[in-house]
Structure formats: structure tokens, C-alpha cells
Structure 1
Amino acid sequence: MGSLSGSSKKLQVIWGLVVVFGVLGLRGVECRKARILDSFEYSAISCRAHSASITDFGGVGDGKTSNTKAFRDAINQLSQYGSDGGAQLLVPAGQWLTGSFNLTSHFTLFLHKDAVLLASQDVNEWSVINPLPSYGHGRDAAGGRYISLIFGTNLTDVVVTGDNGTIDGQGAFWWQQFHRKKIKYTRPYLIEIMHSDNIQISNLTLVNSPSWNIHPVYSSNIIVQGITILAPITSPNTDGINPDSCTNTRIEDCYIVSGDDCVAVKSGWDEYGIAYGMPTKQLIIRRLTCISPYSAAIALGSEMSGGIQDVRAEEIVAINTESGVRIKTAVGRGGYVKDIYVRGMTLHTMKWVFWMTGNYGSHADTHYDPNALPEIKGINYRNVVAENVSMAARLEGISGDPFTGVCISNVTIGLAKKAKKVPWTCTDIEGITSRVTPPPCNLLPDQGPEKIGLCDFPAENLSIDNVEIKRCSFTRNYL
């Protein structure tokens, strides 16, 4: 072959460079294709064998595009892996507008720290379901109720978690409708799990729920952990966490600011709850911080007609909250609240530290049994310090049906400058006290300062405390 001309040599060099950079470019593309989209670890009751992102199913995180179909399609497809190690669905950084969607068993929903689930304000994206059988009646209206944003029923082994990702209920729309009495059905909750077992809800921020935030109901073996809940203090019924007819539940390390009770323990309403007969029992609440000027840090009832038993609360902090622990019941409720153990409360700026009400008169309908009297007994409070309190306690049992076995010990309550002149009011109450300041009412006689350990708190663990938490990983490549 003859020698190349100068121009030919230049073309050859240029072509060679094109080929070299082209190959490098292709390799760069290949590297980008193989580059990890997300890789992280998290704690959960179960790890998963399969992973996907909501973007794999057409999800768009622009805050405007509806992702309801994407979530439903993703979970439907991932449900096939339930018997093959389960699946996890990542919600990446972005704003993901969506209506309600249902979870599946052996499944994890994970929200990236910069992910926001935005609840749709299009009512057509919220189906209407029947009232709960233990309530027999919607809470906002007589008929059905809007399904929750994240919903599941008859499931096992479900995790809803994240790196403190956010679920925004955009509740102002619903609150306005409620105040205007234009709600046809009960407002939706943010997360509701029914008839299910082995549930974890953790490491999330929930804001502006239309109504209750987290509602496990008719379920067992539940862990709610590391949750932040924020709602305007005037927002209606934005309860934080409401375990309802549940067994073996652990709520811990949660921070709640809301317009209603931070934790409300429930088990059905009047004759419907009595007939359903499913109590809430074996409940742990620990390391709770609450701000709720018009409600309680922990409420037991008012819907307690299926019974509430063995509740253990400790290390509770409440600031600018109406009451520390409140028991709410009434004639017609039936059921019981018993074996309640509270220790280690720190309270600042409260209306009442302890409040028991036997005249909480809201009823599902007019068919309740006026002879269905609740049983309230075995209520134990110890090691409580409170400051700037308007009134130490308001304890009102039911005439002919007194609340019994009330025990209060090692309690110091600092009254506010404009506190009520009588710090304790007690009617239809039976119990004992020790080392309580200011001195309690005569119906709670002082047993002497040596009785510092007077009130019970169980020493043995509940089985939910023995659940093994695993270290799980998520690794996701570009498709």
C-alpha cells in the first residue's frame, strides 16, 4: 500500500480520535447504566429479596402528575413476590401526588429522605368504604368513610418506613369541608391497616392529615417507631396514633404536635363495640413527646366499648397539652379500661395532669344501651413531675358505677400562678395515694411517705418487645 498524503493522515488521526472517544463515550454510557441509583440500609422486621422504584412504573415526582395508577400497578406487580422473599418499593426524592392505594403482604414501602407523598385533593381518587363494624357509623357522617391514603387489610408482614420521608395529607381542604358541614363521609386517615399481623410503621414524618394519622385496627404485633406527626393545633380530629382493637402493639420514640390526642387508645363505639367485642390489650407507649393544647398526651377512649387492658406508658413528655393521661367514657359505652400502668411523666404547662371522665356523651346513634356501664379499675400512675399546671386532677366517675383501684404515687405538681383554688376534684372515685403534692382529695387517702413504690408497673416484657429487628438493604440499578 502506498504512503498516505498529509491530508489523509490528518483524517486518519481525526477518525482514530473519534473512534477512541466514541468507545470511551459508550463505556461512559455503560457505566451510567450500571451506576447505582440508590443503595442504603434500614431497620425492619423483615428484609426483602426484590426491589423496585416507583419510577419503574411510570411514577413522576413533579408534585402535579397523579401517581395513583403507578402506585397501584407497582404494588400489584410486586405482590407476586410474596412467596419468594417479598418485595420493597422505593419512593425516591421528589413530590409524588397520589390518591389512595392498597398495600400487599410481605412488602416494604420506603420513602427517601427527600420524598414527599402528597395526598390528592381530587375526591374521585378516594373510594368510599363501609364504616368499621365496631363503630357501625362513620365518625364525621352517618354513612361510609373515605378510604385512607395508605390502606391495607388482611395482610401479614408489612413495613411502611423511610429515611424520615414525608407524607403530606394536605388536610386543609378536608378541614374546611368538615367545618362547613359539607362532608358526606368520614374523612380519610393517612395510614390504616386492618385485620393484619406483623406490621411496622417507622421513621416517617406525617403532616396535615385530613383526620387521624395512623390507625391500626383489628390487628396484632404492631410496631410504630420514630414517627414525627405535625398538624395545626386547631385542626379537627388530627389524632396522632390510634391503636384500635389491637393486641401486642409498641409505640415508641414519637414526636407529635396535633389538634387532638397524641395517642388515643380505642376499641369500638357503644353497642357496636360491645357486639364486636375485640379489646385493645398489651400496648406499650414509651418515649412519647406531645404538644396538643386542646387534648391529651394519651387518651383511653372514648370509644372503648370492646375493652382496653394492659397499657404500659413510660417516659412521656407533654408540653402545652390539655392533660397528661385522660380516660374518656360514658353510660352506654360498656366495656372496660383496666390494668393501666403509667410511670415517668414530665409535663409542662397543662390544664390537668390527670383527667377521668364518665360523662363523655357522644354516641354513635340513639340505640345504645343505657344500662351498659363501663368498668374502670386498676389505674396506676407513678413518678410524675409537672409544672405550670392549672389543676392537678379532675376525676369524675359515674354515679352508681365508681372508678376503682386508682393509685397515684411519687407525684409533684407545680401549680400555675392563676391555678384553680381547689387543685383536685373527685367524684365516684376509689383509690389510694402516696407522696403526692399538692395533697389529693379525700377519696384518694394518703398511705404514707414510705409507700413510694405503691403503684404497680409490670416487670415482665410483652412479646412485642422481643421482636427481632433486622438490618435490611436496598440496592437499585438503572434498568
Structure 2
Amino acid sequence: MELEAKSPMKTQSQGMSRVTFWAFIVALMVILGGADGRMVKTFNTFEYSAISCRAHSASVTEFGAVGDGKTLNTRAFEAAIAHLSRYSAVGGGLLYVPAGRWLTGTFNLTSHFTLYLHRHAVLLASQDINDWPLSDPLPSYGHGREAPGGRYMSFIFGTNLTDVIITGDNGKIDGQGGVWWNKFHKGSLKYTRPHLIEIMHSRSVQISNLTLLNSPFWTVHPVYSSDIVIQGVTILAPVKSPNTDGIDPDSCTNTRIEDVHIVSGDDCVAVKSGWDEYGISYGMPTRQLVIRRLTCISPYSAMIALGSEMSGGIEDVRAEDITAINTESGSGSRLLWAGRICEGYLCEGNENAHHEVGLLMDGNYGSHPDPHYNPKARPMITGINYRI
């Protein structure tokens, strides 16, 4: 199985009243072929549509943003995105974040849209909990992952979108998660912590060429979405920070993760599809997932985990050219199931250092949303290949 880039990098020059800049966007056409792994289900061929350059652009400074690391810029980001959303049907919009330290609360993205960060731009998440609105639990989870109630909205969020790009010249997005980690350890949170980036019910999503830092909870969480590319991203969090997973594809179809470096306080990549009876009822598996050229450091957790929440099923996963450095002593790859299907997992061409067991399989993670799950449920597991 090979993924092949079909479209060249394009450049776009946009003149604006206050700022002139070149925005670089990668236009992708990717084709996934069949896997040749022994005893692994043949992977279906799928195609990523090309993502075009945008016809309209603006700088966040045009809407009053100040990059001093102190001024709260939430309204400026909201106004800029609302302005550019008017161009969704006529070439799309690009929001440029220039060099500076841009403090902001959460904000929503729009369709046919690019968020582009200058190499010296840093988006800083507000540490004021009042700048993080609440949202409902995911239907495939039934509850917040850490508390029975809802959850805090993710720092960068989007739902029901098409053609969304979050990229840059290795600019940074810093969740400043320390305040959340402290509250979690103290048990003072009534709701589940927010993710750094979450995209829901969307298609044609690209996250690339960025450094993502210090997420309050899971770092990148695409959920109920399809045709996703996560490429050339560095994800960093202290190795003792709680549950700072790197990338968690959740009930997603056609996802490619490649050329990613992750240092994490939890699993570097955790493949998910819902929690116990809620995931079974929602019935949306994660399938057709490719992970290539991943480097992982996570002393207290796994390189790649299937689960723990995977009750909607996982199908057709291929991981190759993976380097695990100082991952949890029990698991380079960790497969955790409870009462659902997992089929077609191939992991090959890996380099594993500083852990004792390459593959750990466990049918009961011991974590449930409520007492209504079926304790007698047993998983169905087929087509697992692990080759060094």
C-alpha cells in the first residue's frame, strides 16, 4: 500500500490594504492502494480530493488583534473568520497569523478555509477557564470522558465543515495546559478537559507543518469525519502531563498520519470509536487508517493504541516505519478491546527502543462510562499482523 502525492505545492500572493504576504498551501491528491500484509484484510482504495489555494485572504491584525502575548484576541479571530466565511462558495478564505504571540480563547473554523501561521507566530490558549465554553458529551461516549457531565469546547474547533486546513511555516499552537493539568490532579474539574484541536462531522481536513504544544487533554481529535491528512506535525507535552494523547482518530474514515514526531504524557496515537454501549449504539468505526514515519516518546504509555474507547469498531489500520523511543515498558503497540470488532491491523518496519514488549493485547481496560455496559461482552479480533 502506497500513498502518492499527486499535486505540486502552490504559492499564492495576496495584496491587502494593510499587509502583503505569500501564503503557501499544499494541494494534495492522495491514493491509498491495497495492503500486501499476510493474513490482513485487503485495504479498499480511496482518494483524497485536492485542496485548492484560496481566492481571498486577510490578516488577523486587520480585525484588531495584538500579538503581545497579553491582549485577549478572541473577538478578533471570531470576526476575521466570520468575514472570510462569506467567501466559502467563491474561492474560500485564508486567515494569516503573522509573527507574534496571539492570546485567544476558543474559536470555531469555517468551510473552505485555511488558518495559516507564520513561522514565528504562536497561538496561546487563554488560561482563564471562563474563556472555554461548555459543550455536550459526544453521542458515542454518552458522558464526558472524565466526568458525567459535558466537556469544555476545544481550543480550535469545527463541526459540519468541508475543506479545512490548519497549517503554517512551522508556527506554534500552545494550549498552555498547565492550569488544566493542575485542576485535574486536584480533582476540581466538573467537566472533561478540552482538546487542543477538534474537528467533528467534517471532511477534507488537513493539519500540517505546525508545532502543537501543551494540550489540556488530547491534542488532535478528529471525530465522525473523513478524508483527513495530518502531516509534518510535531506534538510536545511533558511526559508526566495527564492524558495528553498526540493524535486520536475517533470514528473516522480515510485518515493519513505521516511524518509526525510526538512526545506525550499518554498514547502517541490512540485509535478510538466510542465508549461501551454508546459506541456500540452509535456504530461508527474508525477504518482505513494509515500511520507512516511516526516517532514517539511516551514513557508512561503506548506508541499506538487501539482503544481504550473503541466499541464502534476498528477496521483496516496499517502502521509502518514507526520509531518508538522509551515508550511504556509493556507496550510499543497496545490493543485494548471490550465487546467490539477489530479487524485488519498491520504494523511493520518498526524500531523499538527502551521497552520490553512490542505488542500488548488486553480485553478489559477497566474504565466504563456508567454501570449500563454489558460485562459479558467479548471482542471479535481478526487479521492482526505485527512485523519488525
TM more than 0.5: yes
Equivalent in 189, 198, 213 of residue 195 of structure 2: 189
Measure, in 2, the Cα distance between the counterparts of 1:92 and 1:338.
45
Q: How does 1:322-333 map to 2 (within 5 A)?
A: 322=328, 323-329=331-337, 333=338
Partner of 1:38: 21
- Whether contact under 8 Å (2:293, 2:322) holds in the other structure is yes
Q: Measure the CA separation in 2 of the matches of 1:138 and 1:42.
A: 35
Which residue number in structure 1 is paired with residue 273 of structure 2? 267
Q: Distance in 2 between matches of 1:223 and 1:372?
A: 34
Structure 1 Cα separation of the partners of residues 311 and 18 of structure 2 = 56
- Of 189, 202, 210, which residue of structure 2 is paired with 1:204? 210
Match of 1:16 in 2: none
Larger helix proportion of the pair: 1
Residue of structure 2 in register with 1:401 after alignment: none
Letter in 2 for 1:334: G
Aligned match for 1:81, one of 87, 97, 112: 87
Structure 1 residues 332-411: aligned runs within 5 Å: 333-382=338-387, 384=388
Q: Find the counterpart in structure 1 of residue 41 from structure 2.
A: none
Among residues 106, 109, 113, which one is paired with 1:100 in the alignment? 106
Identify the match of residue 292 of structure 1 among 289, 295, 298.
298
Q: Percent identity?
A: 68
Distance between the aligned counterparts of 2:23 and 2:275, measured in 1?
A: 43
Aligned length in residues: 349
Q: Deviations over 1:208-227 (max 9, x none)?
A: 11010000000000000011
- TM-score of the pair, normalised by structure 1: 0.72
Residue 104 and residue 40 in structure 1: after superposition, are their counterparts in 2 closer, same or farther (change >3 A)? closer
Q: What is the DSSP-based 3-state SS (H/G/I as helix, E as strand, rest coil) of the residue aligned with 1:271? A: helix
Q: How many Å separate the matches in 2 of 1:379 and 1:299?
A: 13
One-letter amino acid of the structure 2 residue matched with residue 324 of structure 1: G
What code does the residue aligned with 2:289 have?
Answer: L
Report if the CA contact (8 A) 1:321-1:351 is conserved: no
Three-state SS of the structure 1 residue aligned to 2:233 is: strand
Find the partner of 1:60 among 52, 59, 66: 66
Which of 135, 142, 146 does residue 152 from structure 2 map onto?
146
Deviation at 1:351, TM superposition (A): 3.3
Output one character per residue of 1:325-364: Cα deviation in whole Å (capped at 9) or x when no partner. Answer: 11012xxx32211110111000111132111111211111
Deviations 1:116-161 (A, max 9, x none): 0000011111100000000001111110000000000000000000
How many angstroms apart in 2 are the aligned matches of 1:296 and 1:376? 20
The code of the aligned residue for 1:170 comes to Q
Q: 1:337 corresponds to which letter in structure 2?
A: C
RMSD, aligned α-carbons: 1.4
Q: Which runs of 4+ in 1 moved over 4 A?
A: 33-36
Amino acid at match of 1:349: H
C-alpha distance in structure 1 between counterparts of 2:148 and 2:138, whole Å: 12
Matched letter for residue 229 of structure 1: I
- For 1:339, give the aligned amino acid: G
Partner amino acid, structure 1, of 2:192: T
SS in 1 for 2:181: helix
Gaps of 5+ in 2: 1-15, 28-50
With the length of structure 2 as denominator, give the TM-score of the two structures. Answer: 0.88
